[in-house]
Amino acid sequence: MNGDLELLLKLQDIDYDLGELERSKEYIPDMMENLRREIAESEHKLKETKEGLSRARLEQKDVDLQLQEKQDKFKALQGRMMAIKTNKEYDALIREIDQIKADIYGLESRAVELIETVEGYEKELDGLDGQVVNIRNVNGTQLTSLQEQIDSVGSKIQMREKERQQLVGQVSIRAIRAYDRIRKGKGGAAVVAVKKRACGSCYKALPPQKIQEIKIGERIITCDSCGRMLVWTHESDS
C-alpha cells in the first residue's frame, strides 16, 4: 500500500475519534440531564402519591367525625318524636330528619370513595418505593460513569491531537491537502476500501485496470464518481 495512504488511514481513525470526542461533549451532558430528570420525576411522583395518601387519610378522619356527629344528631331527632305535640312541629322535625339522612348518605358514599382512594394510593406506593430506589441506583451509576467520561474528554482530545500532528508531519503535503479537501467537501471518510470491486462509499463499479492499480498501491487512486481515495484491504476480495 502507498505509504501516504497507510498514514492517511491511521489519520482518518484519529479524526473519527476526535469527532466522536467532540460530539460527546454535547450528547453526554444531555444524557446526564435526562438521567437526573428521570430521578427527579420519580421522586416527585413518590412525593405526590404520599401527599395524596396523607390528604385522603385526613379527609377520612374528618368524614368519620362528621358522620358520627350526623348519626348522633339523627338519634337525638328520633328521640324527640315522642315529644311532638303539633303537626307543624312534626313536619319541621321530619324535614330536619330527612336532611340529616341525606347528609349521612352523602358522607357514607364519600367514606366508601375514600377507602378506595386510600387503597389505590397504598398499592401505588408499594411499587413506587422500589421503583424510585432502583432508578436512583441505576441512574446514579450511569451518571458517575458519564461524569468520568466527560472529565476525561479533554485529555483524550489532547492526546489524539498530538498523535494527529505527528502523523501529518509524515504525510506528503499533496496527500494531506487532498485528504483535508475531500473530508471537508464530502464529509465522512476520505479514504475508503474497495468492496466487491466497487467504491466502498458510493458503490460505483471500478474498471479492472483501476482495480489493479489500487491493488499495486504505488500511487493514490481516487473514485471517478465521488472523488474519495481508494485502498485495497483484506475485505476487498470478499
Quick: pLDDT tens for 29-73. 999 999 999 999 999 999 999 999 999 999 999 999 999 999 999
What average pLDDT does this structure show over 130-148? 96
Is the pTM higher than 0.85? no
CA distance 221 to 208: 13
Q: Residue 133: pLDDT band by 50, 70, 90 thresholds?
A: very high
- With contact defined as beta carbons under 8 Å apart, do 183 and 15 qualify? yes
Q: Residue 1: pLDDT band by 50, 70, 90 thresholds?
A: low
What average pLDDT does this structure show over 137-147? 97
The predicted structure's pLDDT at residue 187: 83
- The DSSP call for residue 237 is T
Helices and strands per DSSP (H, E), number in the chain: 4, 4
- With contact defined as beta carbons under 8 Å apart, do 136 and 61 qualify? no
DSSP E strands: which ranges in the chain?
191-195, 198-199, 221-222, 229-231
Question: Which CATH topology does 3-168 take?
Answer: Helix Hairpins (1.10.287)
Q: Where are the alpha helices (DSSP H) in 80-172?
A: 87-168
Is 194 a residue whose pLDDT tops 80?
A: yes
CA distance 184 to 227: 12
The predicted structure's pLDDT at residue 234: 79
Sequence spans of domains, the chain: 3-168, 173-231
The predicted structure's pLDDT at residue 238: 58
Is 15 a residue whose pLDDT tops 70?
A: yes
Q: How far is CA 108 from the centre of its chain?
A: 45
145-159, 180-194, 224-238, range with the lowest pLDDT: 224-238
Q: Which three cell numbers stand for residue 141?
A: 451509576
Q: Which three cell numbers stand for residue 90?
A: 312534626
